Every structure is written in structure tokens, then in C-alpha cells.
Chain A
């Protein structure tokens, strides 16, 4: 076997560098070190863009998500303040629709008295949709609510003046006024958890994975799979709020 001259070897090595760099930039980090460095870099710049998926046909209406949210976020336990809740829809054979959400579904639901003429029935979890064009942010007079760089709509509790315009402007009923602080409050996608790599409490608590959380910019995640495999709907699409909570198998009766 002939030995390749040292010059040639050196040139080949030299070529490998830009090629591999180009490959890495196209295919993504290969080693763990590269991966974690990329992640750190992404976090530093705010490269995440969060969204949620809800598979309605998987929700069993157990209400564990509502319970977990109230525990995690110190939400008042009274049945008037919810960052997330579960609604039950019962469509009867005669077309009548009954909807209920007893205490937001936090203790589950009670069986209906008459099940004979139920045509179809299901549960729908609801929460702040963290819209891409949030009407609540548009109307805040002082800039106390805003969409963060990573797509989460947050409330600045130290700046809010409690005018309640945002509560009026939200089409989904996701906001409320916390009577303790007298400022507007709502689901934050558990911002304090997701920025540390954890899942929101409601997603953590869901026993059937009806709730999926993820980074809309990530190439592979459970949310990405749902966006690929399911037909997606959002609540009140005609209002053009561009919600980032995507539902699959959302019934026509759901508002």
C-alpha cells in the first residue's frame, strides 16, 4: 500500500473542517456536547416558540389537570377562578346540546341521569390559547400583558392597573381578576416550569396524554407529531386570534 504524502493528508484534513461544519449546520448537532451547546445557545437567544396540542378523543374528564394547575400556581380554590378547566358536551338524539363544567371539572363529573338518548358526548379541556395575535395584548392600556419572545402571553402583576379590559377582550374566557392582587391573571403555560425544561403542570398531570406540550420550532416532539398526523382545529378561528393551542377532533358544538 502506498503511503499518501503528508501534504495530501493535510489538505484533506483541512477540507474536512468546512465540510463537516456545513454538514453539522444542515443536519444538526451530532455529539452530546454539540447538542447541549446548541440548546444553550437557543435558550439564550429565545429560540423556543411554545404551543400546546389537545387530543379531544383522549380526554377522559378526570379533572386532574385542573387540580394540578391550581396546586402548582396557587390559584384560589373557589369555583370562580380557573387558569384551565374541562367542559363536558352531551349531544342528545334530538339535537339538544348540554354543556357543563362543575367547578371547572376539578372533581371530575357526575354521571348524567339519563344516558339513553345520548348521540355523542365528550370532554374538552380549555385554557388560555396563547394566541399569536392576542386581542388581550392589543387592548391593554399600559403594556402590562404581552407576548414574550417565546410565544407565551404573560401578565406583569406589578404593572397591571386592574382595568379589566383584557378580560373583556379575551374571546375564550381564559382570564380572571385575582381578588387577592386585584390584577388580571391567567394561564402562563407554567412559564416557570417550561423555561427549566419541565412540562406545564396540566400536561404533567394528564393520564391519557390528551394534552401535549411542545416547541413549535422543534423538528421532533410529540406536538410536532400531532401537527403532522392529525387534522387540527382551533377555537373561534373566525376571530383571527391565531391560537397556539391546537385541538384534534374538535366537535362543531364547541365554542
Chain B
């Protein structure tokens, strides 16, 4: 604890103005920045997947199963930073035992369970079932056993059963879209409903969170599709990439519009928190907000994508441009989460002072742990891709069994 006090003492010496004595440390740190980032990716990837199923955007079909697996991999990791952050993670099950229904955070347990069980796992099950039956018939050993368990014994692959599977997938996706909205929207509501904090308390925050999520999800799937294509030695479909790039551009513009609206509204109403919040933006958040989130993370990708779409560049260059835009977006969205979570704790509720947040390298909430939580989903995704390959060429070939014609 001595170290902790030393850290706090050094923060105390960097306080400007006046803060309430208890406000010295920012309680929600890096791990709480990572959580909305991860659930945002989950919601965004799922929304992208739903584009194909519900809105029948055929071009993004190659990314459909990959997007589902991505969402699952990130969803599995999502509760981990929360658990690591709790003062008493061993008591975390209390959220399921005695959820206080007035609290948005209590909804976490149910929303998460609903989304995991009823939406994601079910959709993946129905989507893959027929193929898994086919695989299990052809394999041996551990893979055969794993796939057999996956089917839960339901091995009917007649056209009627498969047709039911497809209908089920469509229905679940339909339910899944508002579920994804709630999964990430409630995180925005957790912040947006805190009347004590003028940086967070806003009707727009859940909406902004959602659009940032969609943006980050699309760009993640784009990146993964590109990288996995490279790794498999296949050329990614330019049609698919173009479509993804298009959606990314439109949602980025929407996201930017919302941010501009929020900014304009705050300036116009100019209520009493405007002074300290302006000071916050100009001093502590200048780099992460104006430079990283706005310029690098939003305007930059919009520029790149708009240029690419308005010109006729060769495929190679277009691919590179998309990848660059997607990476910039990821950085920008992470910075967005940072600015919301950390930014809201850098100013005092007395509206008279600012504190600092020092992120450690090691330690329970340090950069290393954060990186581990960010890398883990990719490891899980790798495992999932091995067990449930989403590639077209990996589908079992059995004439008349799978109801779908094998096309490229």
C-alpha cells in the first residue's frame, strides 16, 4: 500500500485548482477503457454480420462467419477486464444473485448472458450446424469428438432441417441487432445517466458509443478479413472490401456528425461546467481528443476512404488504403473510449480543478495487463477458426447434404 500512497502523493502534487479531497484518484482506469472498446467491437462485428443476413448485402458474405467468430472471441474476453478491476472479484456473482434493477450496471449480467447465450452462441450453432455434422462425419479423433458435441446430437441435415437452420439464423439476427444495441448501448447508458458528471451526463452518449462501436467493428472485420486472406494465401474479394470501405465511410461520417453535434450543443448551452471542461480539453485531453481521436482517428480515415472511393486506384493501393484507414479507426476509437472514461475523471465535480491519471506499466491495472486483454481475443479467435473454419473452401463437400450450393 505504501507504493499506492506514494503514487497518490505524486498525483496530489500535480493537481491544478481545487478538487474535492476524495477525488484524487481516477477510479475507472485503463481496464474500464478496454471494456467498452471490446464490447464495441462485439456489437460492431455483429451488426456487420447482420448486414448480410437481414439486409442481404451479398458483397460482405465472405466476412459473415468470420464476423460471428470475432464477436464471440471478443465477447468471451469482455467480462475479464471488469473482473480484474473489481475490488472483490470473488463477489462478482452477486450481480446475478441480487441485481439492483435500478442500476444500469446490474443489467450487465443479464444483457451479457442474453447476448452470449441467446444471440451469439445460438446463431453460430444454427449457422454452422449442418457443416459441423458434415465435418464430424469426415474426421477422426479429437476434432470429430468436438464437432459431435457441438451438434448436441442434432444430426438431421435434410433440406427441411437446414432450411429451418437458415430461418432460425435470420430470426436470431433480427433479434440480435437490437440486442447488440443494448449490449453496447447500456455501457453508454452507464456513463450517460450519471448526473453528477457533466462530461458523461448526456443523452447522446449511448448513441455516440453505439456508432463508435459500429465503426470499430466494421474496421476490425475488414482488417481480419484482409489479414486472414493473406495468411491463407487467397486474394480478398475486392467487392467485399469496397463494400466494407463504403460502410465504414458512411458510419464514420455519422459518428463525426454526432460528435460535432455534442460539441456544438455544449458550447451553445454553455452551462456552468463549460469552463472546466474547456480547460480539460485544451490541457489534459488536447493530444488524445483533438489530435488522436478527431484528426487521426476520424478525419484521417474519412479523407482516405473518400479519396479511395472517388478515384480509380489499382486494387493493390485500394487494399492498402482500406487497411490504413481501418487501423487509424481502431486507434481513434480506443482514444474515444479513453477520452470518455478517463476524461470524465480528470476534472473535479467542484468544477474548479483538474487532476491527473497515471497509467502504470505493470500492476493490476497496467499497460501489460491491458495488452494481454487485447491480445487474448485474437488467440481465442485463432482457436475458434481452427475448430469452426469460416472459410468457404473449408466447408464439407457432400452432394445433396448441405442445402447451400458451393459457390465462391
**A contact set with B: CB distance below 8 Å:** 78-82, 85, 87, 97-101, 103-104, 126, 135, 138-144, 159-165, 167-177, 179-183, 239, 255
Contact = CB atoms under 8 A, between A and B. Distances in A.
B22 A141 contact: no
A246 to B, nearest CB: 20
Interface residues of B, number: 48
B5 A78 contact: yes
Given A82-B22, A175-B22, A167 B87 contact: no
B349 A255 contact: yes
A173 B348 contact: yes
Contacts of A162: 86-88
Interface in B1-53: 1, 4-5, 8-9, 12, 17-25, 27-28
B354 to A, nearest CB: 13
A179 B21 CA distance: 15
Contact of A135 (B22, B28, B196, B350): B196
Interface string B142-174: 000000000000000000000000000000000
Nearest to A104: B21
B88 A168 contact: no
Given A139-B105, A142-B99, A168-B196, A161 B5 contact: no
B22 A81 contact: yes
17 contacts: A80-B24, A82-B21, A82-B22, A85-B20, A139-B105, A141-B108, A142-B106, A161-B86, A163-B85, A163-B105, A164-B28, A168-B28, A173-B19, A173-B350, A176-B22, A183-B87, A183-B88
Q: Which 7 A-B pairs have the closest CB atoms?
A: A162-B87, A173-B20, A182-B87, A171-B196, A99-B18, A141-B105, A141-B106
Contacts of A104: 21
A185 to B, nearest CB: 10
Interface in B260-309: none
Given A80-B8, A160-B88, A164-B27, A255 B103 contact: no
Contacts of B348: 173
Interface string B83-117: 00111110110110111101111101000000000
B22 A101 contact: no
Contact of A80 (B12, B18, B105, B351): B12
A161 B87 contact: yes
A143 B100 contact: yes
Given A135-B195, A141-B103, A164-B27, 6 more contacts: A104-B21, A168-B27, A168-B197, A170-B196, A173-B21, A181-B87
A179 B92 contact: no
B98 A80 contact: no
Nearest to A167: B27
A56 to B, nearest CB: 16
A97 B18 CA distance: 10
A204 B71 CA distance: 58
Given A141-B99, A177-B87, A255-B349, A159 B24 contact: no
Interface string B212-232: 000000000000000000000
B194 interface: yes
A143 B27 contact: no
Contacts of A97: 352
A79 B10 CA distance: 12
A139 B20 contact: no
A169 B92 CA distance: 20
B317 to A, nearest CB: 46
B195 A171 contact: yes
B349 A177 contact: no
Contacts of B193: 139
B100 A141 contact: yes
Contacts of B92: 161
Given A139-B104, A172-B20, A161 B91 contact: yes
A168 B87 contact: no
Given A168-B197, A182-B87, A80 B94 contact: no
Interface in B161-192: 190
Nearest to A89: B18
B22 A100 contact: no
Contacts of A175: 22
A166 B270 CA distance: 27
Contacts of A165: 103, 105, 190
B306 to A, nearest CB: 39
B315 to A, nearest CB: 49
Given A80-B8, A80-B12, A139-B103, A169 B194 contact: yes
Contact of B22 (A138, A142, A163, A174): A174
A80 B21 contact: yes
B87 A101 contact: no
Given A79-B21, A165-B103, A142 B98 contact: yes
B192 to A, nearest CB: 12
Nearest to A66: B21
Interface in B218-267: none
B193 to A, nearest CB: 8
Nearest to B100: A143
Given A78-B5, A179-B4, A142 B95 contact: yes
Contact of B12 (A79, A144, A180): A79
A126 B18 CA distance: 14
